[in-house]
Amino acid sequence: MKKKIISVVGARPNFMKVAPLDRAFKRFEDKFEHIIVHTGQHYDVNMSDAFFQDLEMPQPAFFLGAGSGSHAEQTAKVILGFEKVCLEVKPDMVIVVGDVNSTIACALTSVKLGIKVAHVEAGLRSWDRTMPEEINRIATDAICDYCFVTEQSGIDNLTKEGRSPDTIFFTGNTMIDSQFFALDNAKKSKILDKLNLTKKEYMLITLHRPSNVDDEKQLKNFLDIFTEFSDKRKIVFPVHPRTRKNITAFGYDDLINKNKNIILTEPLGYIDFLCLMQNSDFVLTDSGGIQEETTALGIPCITARTSTERPVTVVMGTNVLVNPESENVKKAISDFIQGKRPVLQVKVPFWDGNAGERIVSVINKLLEY
């Protein structure tokens, strides 16, 4: 009888992490039935459809429709919906990825039902407990059965926290698997023509952290910085919904809408965004995954945060961590424009496009009973 494996997706980065697993499970179709559950934590019909298409993923077998709300409301909705799925499907294992509310909600539900849980992207730590993602990471790693890690720091952190080495597997980064998988299609993207961009002559921006976009003064600082440097590099800014909402609420639309060198777009599909990233001069972000994606591509990246849970991107990669105060950010951008930027010297171990296959091979052995 086939083993039933549920993989959970809840937010956009989860799609990139689960798609390689789905492809790998297809090679074991005689042994596994792989079932994708979309919690609907972040959901836009156009964006979700685009991600499934871009990553060649099957549509989810279950859609929970959790939607937005406070952390408590969202987590509770996912728990209630996912419990029903588990009772119906009776999976042999649940795979949760990353660090969103759906990650801890589905891990907690599964463990209490006696279902084995594997956490993909385990062991990452920012050491900043004001970040909801940090709490989700710590809690998920504390209760899951198996930890699949993307970098050495994950092994080090889990070992210090008392995890048995027998439950930790260094398999690489499925997000990079998706990136490699999509690169050929990204080269065919027309987004540069659509936005009238020239390769390596623009800076790509993403901002969504509450600490950067919910504070009126802090958000204005960033918009002023973009205005200041827009005569040296075009600014391409796919705007997160919460960031867009705050720009308008704080009355800052005119700060950027009247500047032809600042190009605001809606959130983009994976292929178009990958094309923009690959052809940018450099990236400024407060995202977690983009730190990894830029490192894998060798694209210089400024991360406007006080800490990173992905230290390998700074130690081995092309990422520079910058405290998001105005003068610090301006100096980092100025340095990058002048060519003072990190260069990828050596590839990160196991960031080779085969992490999904390694993970599924391990799960195959774990469930051989």
pLDDT in tens, 327-338: 999 999 999 999
Q: What is the mean pLDDT of residues 309-337?
A: 98
Residue 63: its pLDDT value, please? 93
Whether 345 shows a pLDDT value over 70: the answer reads yes
Q: What is the mean pLDDT of residues 309-316?
A: 97
Q: Which of 42, 71, 208, 240 is catalytic?
A: 208
Query: Which domains are present in the chain?
Result: 3-173+351-366 (3.40.50.2000), 184-337 (3.40.50.2000)
User: How far, in Å, CA of 252 to CA of 308, rounded?
Assistant: 29
Closest CA to 117 of 1, 6, 9, 2: 6
Query: CB–CB of 144/119 below 8 Å?
Result: yes
The Cβ of residue 240 has, within 10 Å, a number of other Cβ atoms equal to 18
Tell me the pLDDT of the chain averaged across its residues: 95
Q: What is the mean pLDDT of residues 229-239?
A: 97
**Amino acid identity, position 212:** N
Residue 369: its pLDDT value, please? 61
**Amino acid identity, position 62:** F
Reported as a single tens digit per residue, the pLDDT across 183-199 is: 999 999 999 999 999 99
User: How far, in Å, CA of 291 to CA of 168, rounded?
Assistant: 23
- In terms of average pLDDT, the best of 56-60, 222-226, 237-241 is 222-226
The CB-side HSE value for 125 (13 A sphere, CA atoms) comes to 16
Reported as a single tens digit per residue, the pLDDT across 74-92 is: 999 999 999 999 999 999 9
Of the candidate ranges 129-138, 181-190, 218-227, 254-263, the one whose mean pLDDT is the lowest: 254-263
Active-site residue, 208 included: yes
Its pTM stands at 0.95
User: How far, in Å, CA of 136 to CA of 97, rounded?
Assistant: 11
Whether 150 shows a pLDDT value over 90: the answer reads yes
Percentage of the chain exceeding pLDDT 90? 89
Q: Which residue has the higher pLDDT, 36 or 43?
A: 36
> Exposed/middle/buried for 244, CB within 10 Å: 0-12, 13-18, 19+?
middle
Percentage of the chain exceeding pLDDT 70? 98
Reported as a single tens digit per residue, the pLDDT across 273-285 is: 999 999 999 999 9
Q: Any idea what the Cα angle at residue 75 is, between residues 74 and 76, rounded to 5°?
A: 90
Whether 46 shows a pLDDT value over 60: the answer reads no
